[in-house]
Structure 1
């Protein structure tokens, strides 16, 4: 738990604290997919399809559910997870080039890597510099080749990720295709933060 880089607030996120009542079916589907992934993890861990990716509107609970998976994997099964918030994580990597290789190696070799808000858009455009794409590809490709699980949340669909880098997007899809959900629609219905 200490080395996961998950904040104290995020360590409180669990399946029980995620609300599905009164929410559209897409939210319930996302919840059930995350639960199924956690329950199936030991069985699929070494397989090609051993990952999960949740895509779509902000505020739908993608991060909450993947933190619930992370927290349960760590606390109940003793499996190491590294939380990497895409925007802040790349800012840190850029600011500390001396430790770049060490940090990237940690992302490559940790039991489970959770990349939160992959290519998070700013003003409608994905944040994906050539350098960010190159580093992300290096990490994902290493994990792909070595059957190491990833968890991805992104406001972008699989197709939009493929538009940025097809080799990267198709690897993520292949790894997580059994546990992929896209949530799109009216933000007033889907965004937990806009309730009431």
Structure 2
């Protein structure tokens, strides 16, 4: 019994104490001359520290979001585009809006498969609006990376790498478009349609396809014209894992304005 008593912890000393703010409380001796402080003050201190940590994290996320937006290439005009400010009046507009919202809000699942989409329709129908809304949501809600570019700009970047004075190789130029979690390529079909342009576009999309990185293509051409322009190999990759062609069949919003 004596041995057991020796290993049992001694009962901690307590004493009455007073807090200038909260009044009387019982202080407990921790060790030596160290005693516990007012429990209410301690709770308030911990709550304040938690709020400060949360505020610091919010600021970090805010700064990270704006850095990503700056790096994303999304044009300034389209950075305020959201699902909430897209006008959907017809059944087809509502269907397209719901598709885009579902795509953005389930982006973790989209990344698992690399599910892509092609937006086709006349200029001014909101293709860029909704594609950028997806990109902004992906960066803001999921802290993922997105890159917006016209196909012409992407092709020009790769072609520039062929120059002897280029600061990046062709591999690096393509990798810059393969790396983002989401790639948005606008104005498919505006280019000359040369073999080299089609090869570059295929290389980018194929690399992303192999790495399960989703891609959004946008074009003012019809669905058949897009297929004829980019070729069946690209279309097959874009349609795999549930990828869809989304038709913006209504008149230009710009005409209404």
Answer whether TM exceeds 0.5 for this pair: yes
Distance of 1:162 and 1:130 partners within structure 2: 15
Partner in structure 1 of residue 184 of structure 2:
114
Partner in structure 1 of residue 235 of structure 2:
169
Unaligned runs of 5+ in 1: 121-125
Distance of 2:219 and 2:242 partners within structure 1: 13
Partner in structure 1 of residue 107 of structure 2:
41
Q: Classify the secondary structure of the residue corresponding to 1:6.
A: coil
Distance of 1:39 and 1:180 partners within structure 2: 19
Does the aligned pair in 2 maintain the 1:158–1:173 contact within 8 Å?
A: no
What is the TM-score with the length of structure 1 in the denominator?
A: 0.83
Distance of 2:226 and 2:132 partners within structure 1: 22
Counterpart selection for 2:97 from 25, 31, 34 = 31
User: Offset of 1:176 from its aligned partner?
Assistant: 5.3
Distance of 1:142 and 1:92 partners within structure 2: 16
What is the TM-score with the length of structure 2 in the denominator?
A: 0.64
Distance of 2:80 and 2:192 partners within structure 1: 29
Q: Classify the secondary structure of the residue corresponding to 2:120.
A: strand
Does the aligned pair in 1 maintain the 2:161–2:173 contact within 8 Å?
A: no
Task: Assess, with a 3 A threshold, how the Cα gap between structure 1 residues 81 and 144 changes in structure 2: closer, same or farther.
Answer: same
* Residues paired across the two proteins, number: 183
Q: Classify the secondary structure of the residue corresponding to 1:190.
A: coil
Q: Render the CA deviation track for 1:41-96: whole Å, top value 9, x for unaligned.
A: 21231115x22221121111011001000011111211000111123443444455
Alignment of 1:151-170 (within 5 A): 151-164=216-229, 165-170=231-236
Partner in structure 1 of residue 120 of structure 2:
55
Task: Assess, with a 3 A threshold, how the Cα gap between structure 1 residues 161 and 51 changes in structure 2: closer, same or farther.
Answer: same
Counterpart selection for 2:130 from 49, 52, 65 = 65
Q: Classify the secondary structure of the residue corresponding to 2:84.
A: coil
Q: Classify the secondary structure of the residue corresponding to 1:147.
A: coil
Alignment of 1:82-97 (within 5 A): 82-95=147-160, 97=162
Distance of 1:41 and 1:104 partners within structure 2: 23
Partner in structure 2 of residue 16 of structure 1:
84
Partner in structure 1 of residue 45 of structure 2:
none
Relative contact order, higher structure (CA 8 A, sep 6+)? 1
- Bigger Rg, structure 1 or 2: 2
RMSD: 2.1
Unaligned runs of 5+ in 2: 1-67
